[in-house]
Every structure is written in structure tokens, then in C-alpha cells.
Amino acid sequence: MPQILTAALYHFATLPDCEALRGPLQAECERHGVRGLLLLAPEGVNGTIAGTAEGVQAVLAMLRAQPPLAALRHKEAWGDRMPFYRMRVRVKREIVTLGVPGVDAARDAGTYVKPGDWNALIDDPEVVVIDVRNGYESAIGSFARAVRPDTRSFTEFPAWVEAQTAPGGLLAGKPRVAMFCTGGIRCEKSTALLRMQGFGEVYHLEGGILQYLEDMPAEGSRWEGDCFVFDERVSVSHGLVPGTHRHLCRSCRMPLGPQDLASPDYLPGVRCPHCRGTRAAGEERALAERERQMALARQRGTEHLGARLPTPSRAGPVAGSAAQDHGPGPAQADASLPVLYSFRRCPYAIRARMAIAASGQRCEWREVVLRDKPAAMLAASPKGTVPVLVLPGGRVLEQSLDIMRWALAHHDPAGWLQAGEPDDVEALIAACDGAFKQALDRCKYPERHPEVPPEAAQSQARAWLEGLEDRLGRSAFLCGSRAALADVALMPFVRQYAAIDRTAWQSLPWPRLQAWLAAWESGVLFEEVMHKAPAWREGQDVQYFPPGQARDSAA
């Protein structure tokens, strides 16, 4: 009989003192052996926890004892295994990140529609039905008549709404709107966004798609296909039974159905019909090798960690020893150092290198040619984007912010992690990486986005940058009197926008933002970070980052 109870929950409510709740809630979870993740924010709570029935109920009771959370509801599932390794209670700016200030789902959310009444609503041709999930989710199933924005993340949704409310857009004139998502949290917040923008009649499916599939029989249902879920099932259908999409492509992470698996374009771990032709032959060979290593690990009963694969041309010295030159041949790598795969001009890689250089952390530096990505990098990180940091123990950091935080956790001489309010810093970075990055790409590469007028992309980008100018009018840096993680994380993207047309940049009425960027660009740290390095090739002499650091000698 299953012994582990998993509870998924969220509730929008005004929770002003969530920081005071974090510690006691963490302690209560640990006291009862409950694991998982709970997010607290001024707008409410969101998360999933697991443990014994008594432990989970005790934590839920503690949450409901807070008056704003008294109406908290949750969904339960039983299992034989603990799905989490630890318990984390985190305080954030938002419980689901949209990146738009002022959206209040507790106050402004649209009208709930129960699953039994949903068909009648979406059958109305005057109602615009919107699937607010990401493209990889909606690709395998959705409601009939639903519009799919095909976003890559929820933070891109506001930009889609802005584009569609323009004259000629789907939402021009503010029609009646019905919205849905997997479990309800994203569509609930999305309805508040539309209400804030003046939409009058905005509806959302109570309990999300999962509740509809649980309550409604297949006969007469308006649902078509499978519903993507974020667990080992991959997808479900009516009655919440497993759907036909039961696998994920390990190359592009798209859900795969029987037709995909039977396709000649499908090669496990290497490619699928969705990503066929998107990788170079060398990348596919690296992915095939990674798949082979994983199969061998499964046979041995061990786990493939995605670490660097040993090569016959290079063998690292004993961990902790100094790297030594060996005549005209390639220098040996120091196995005690992380390996950084980077590309000089990539803004994500720049932010990661800024943090590494500031921390003084020494790395083996492998500068990547994006059209010819090295097999060693793809073996460690098949997603094929930079930066990638491979730690000595085999752990792989694939996100620039993870690399920044890792480096600064070791040494943060300028106090970037401590500066600014954590929620403000996190929200600012999320907005940059979401809506602003999307607008930036459309400004920089208008030919790739013919569906978006260039002036609309410029308007969106400049509106966001004006907000940074306003911030710098109140303080010396974006989040206060000292440079914070947000300043370092945003700088490469502001720089990329300025580089589109430097003359136009200097003519804009943003003297504070221009001075802020110029100060970063003229600094010694940035000069070191932008040092040009030759492209890395297997077997060449080892390069180290930061480039200004001398090689260590044996102690």
C-alpha cells in the first residue's frame, strides 16, 4: 500500500509577513519529515510537499492557520517513493513569476468557471479562448478553438498580450476571454493581468485542465489530445490516466507520442521529429555517446552524471596538484578546477564570467565556436547553449544565474549577493530574461520575427529600459546604493541593446542609464571578462579564466 502522500497547492492571498513565516514553516516541515518546495510571496503560497499523511496534514494545518490562507485548497496523490530529496521554503517576489508589477490575483482574478460549465462558455464564438501554457505543453493537446501563444516561459505572456491588444490583434477591443492552464495558477494570474488592463469579462477554468479531465467524461468533452504534466507520467488524458505521450526527447525535451517514437527521425537521446536537423553532426555524435554512457551506467546500476568524458589525449594530474608544462605537447588540465564553456559575446556567458572573475574562482576556459560546439561540452550539457560549468565532482551548471550564484557563494568581495532586496533583485532579472530579452531579440533580428512590427519591438524594449532609468534616478544602482546581482546580470543585455545602434543609444533621454552602462564597460573587471581567447580544441594547451590570473605553483 502506498505510504507517501504528495500534496500540490497554491493560493493567492495578501501575505505581507511571509518572511516571518518562512523559518517556522521550514522547521515544521523538518519536524515531520516532510520534503518538497514551498514558495511564499506577498501574493500567497505555491508548492508541492510529500511525506507521511500525518506530516503533510500537519504542514497544511499550519498554513491554513494563517488567516489569509484559511481557504487554501490542495490536491493529493499517493505513491511508494519519496519524490524529493530535501525541504525548501523560499520567499520570493511572486509565487508564479509573470514579471509585471501591480498584478494582484487575490483581488483582481477573473471569474471561476467550473468544469461542468466550461463547454458552454468556450463554445460561444464571441469568446476568445486562450491556452496560457508554454508551447511544448500545448503542442500535444488543448481545448478546441483555443489560441496558443506558444510562449517559451510564462514571463513572455505579457508581451504576447500587449501585441494582441494592438489594433488588428486578437484581443483588440477587449473581447470576452476564457483562459486555462494545467492546474489553475497561471491562468488565475493571467486573468488578473487582463483585468488590470481594462478587460471586463475574463473567465478561467477552476482547477485547470487536470480538474476538467478528472470530472468530465470523454464523451462530449472539448479537450483534444493529451495534457502535459511535470512528472514522470509526461502526460495524462481523461480520468487522469497516462496519456499517449509518455517519453521526453532527451535532446530537445519535447514530449513524444507513438508516432514520434516510430518515426525514422527518432534516435533515443539524440534527436526526434521535433528537433531533427537542428544540430550539427558533431553534436549528434556527442549526444549518441552520452546515450551510450547512460545505457552503460544503467547496466552497472550507477548514474551517469554528465561529467567530462576522459579522452586519450589529455589526462589530468592528481586532484589538488599544480598543472605543469610538458615541453611542446599540450599542457595537462588541473582536475581540481571547474571547466567553463563560454562564448565571448553571449550576454548570458558574459554575466557568468563577470561573477567568476569577481569571485577570483579559477577555471579551465574553453571558448566555444557556436556553429561547431565541442563534443565534450555536448556530452556534459546536451542543450548546447553557453555558458556551461562542469564542476570537478561531475555536477553540471547549465544556467548563467546558477553559475553566478555558485561563484559568488565561494567569494563575493563586492557584496553583490547581499545588495538589494532579494525579491526585487529576482523580479528584475526575471523581467530582463523574459519580456525584455524577447523584445531585444526582435529589435536585433527583425528579419527573424516578421510577424512583429519593428517599431512595436522597439517600443516594448524602450519602455522597459525607461524603467531602469527611473530606478537610477532614485539610487546609484538598480536595486539601491550598491551594485547588486541584478546590475551584473542585466548589464550584458542592456549593452547588447545599445550596440544595435550606438548613435541612437546616445541620443535617447536616459543619461543615468547610459552612464551606468559606460561605467561597467570601462571597468577593469569587464575588460578582463571580454579578453579574446582562441577557440578551444581538444588537445590544445589549457587556457585559464580569469585570464589575468597567473598559474598556481605547487604549494
Q: 422-431 and 485-500 are packed helices; what angle lies between their axes, rounded to 10 degrees?
A: 20
Quick check: 516 and 472 in contact, CB under 8 A?
yes
Q: pLDDT, tens digit, for every residue of 360-381?
A: 899 999 999 888 888 889 888 8
Spatial separation of the C-alpha atoms in residues 57 and 55, rounded to whole Å: 5
Torsion of CA 287, 289, 290, 295, to 10 degrees: 130
Q: Return the HEC string of 194-210.
A: HHHCCCCCEEEECCHHH
Quick check: 293 and 277 in contact, CB under 8 A?
no
Which residue did the predictor score with more confidence, 285 or 220? 220
Q: pLDDT, tens digit, for every residue of 289-320?
A: 777 776 776 666 544 443 332 222 222 322 22
Cis omega before residue 217 (within 30°)?
no
Closest listed residue to residue 519, CA positions, set 549, 478, 474: 478
In sequence order, which residues have a C-beta less than 8 Å from that of residue 467 and are 6 or more positions away? none
Which of the residues 18, 29, 181, 443 is marked catalytic? 181
Of 116-120, 332-336, 470-474, the poorest mean pLDDT is in 332-336
What percent of the chain stands above pLDDT 90? 60
The answer on pLDDT for 478 being more than 80 is: yes
The answer on pLDDT for 331 being more than 60 is: no
What DSSP letter does each residue of 425-469 carry, written as one string? HHHHHHHIIIIIHHHHHHHH-GGG-TTS-HHHHHHHHHHHHHHHH
Please tell me the predicted confidence (pLDDT) of residue 292. 78
Q: How would residue 321 be classed by pLDDT, with cut points 50, 70 and 90?
A: very low
Please tell me the predicted confidence (pLDDT) of residue 43. 95
Give the residue-averaged pLDDT of 430-438.
Answer: 92
432 is catalytic: no
Q: How would residue 207 be classed by pLDDT, with cut points 50, 70 and 90?
A: very high
> What pTM did the predictor assign?
0.56
CATH no. of 105-227: 3.40.250.10
Instruction: Indicate the fold that domain 4-91 takes in CATH.
Output: Alpha-Beta Plaits (3.30.70)
The answer on pLDDT for 339 being more than 50 is: yes
Q: Where are the domains of the chain?
A: 4-91, 105-227
φ/ψ of residue 361, rounded to 5: -65, 125
Q: pLDDT, tens digit, for every residue of 230-251?
A: 777 889 999 989 899 999 887 7
Quick one: cell of 431?
523581467
Q: Render the burial of 76-94: b for 16+ CB within 10 Å, e for the rest.
A: eeeeeeeebeebebebbbb
Residue 236 half-sphere exposure toward CB, CA atoms < 13 A: 17
Please tell me the predicted confidence (pLDDT) of residue 358. 93
Distance of CA 547 to the CA centre of its chain: 30
Count CB neighbours of 132 within 10 A. 27
Please tell me the predicted confidence (pLDDT) of residue 330. 37
Please tell me the predicted confidence (pLDDT) of residue 449. 82
Which residue did the predictor score with more confidence, 552 or 201? 201
H helix intervals, 202-317: 208-215, 258-262, 281-300
Cis omega before residue 413 (within 30°)?
no
3-state helix, strand, coil in the chain (%, to 5): 40, 15, 45
Of 70-84, 103-117, 353-367, the poorest mean pLDDT is in 70-84
Mean of all residue pLDDT scores within the chain: 87
Distance of CA 535 to the CA centre of its chain: 28
First-residue to last-residue Cα distance in the chain: 58
Quick one: cell of 94?
511572486
What DSSP letter does each residue of 296-358 carry, written as one string? HHHHHT------PPPBTTB---STTSPP---TTSPPPP-TTS-EEEE-TT-HHHHHHHHHHHH
**Reduced to 3 states, what is the DSSP secondary structure of residue 28?**
helix
Closest listed residue to residue 131, CA positions, set 101, 104, 151, 156: 151
Please tell me the predicted confidence (pLDDT) of residue 218. 93
Give the residue-averaged pLDDT of 400-421.
Answer: 92
The answer on pLDDT for 403 being more than 70 is: yes
Torsion of CA 418, 158, 15, 86, to 10 degrees: -60
- CA distance readout (Å), 530 to 13, 49, 131, 368, 523: 46, 44, 42, 14, 11
The answer on pLDDT for 36 being more than 80 is: yes
β-pairing, 388-390 vs 544-545, is unpaired
Distance of CA 444 to the CA centre of its chain: 22
Please tell me the predicted confidence (pLDDT) of residue 99. 86
Quick check: 273 and 260 in contact, CB under 8 A?
yes
What is the DSSP code (8-state) at residue 271?
Answer: B
Q: Which long-range contacts (CB under 8 A, 24 or more apart) does 318-327 make?
A: 319/392, 321/554, 322/551, 322/552, 322/553, 322/554, 322/555, 323/542, 323/551, 323/552
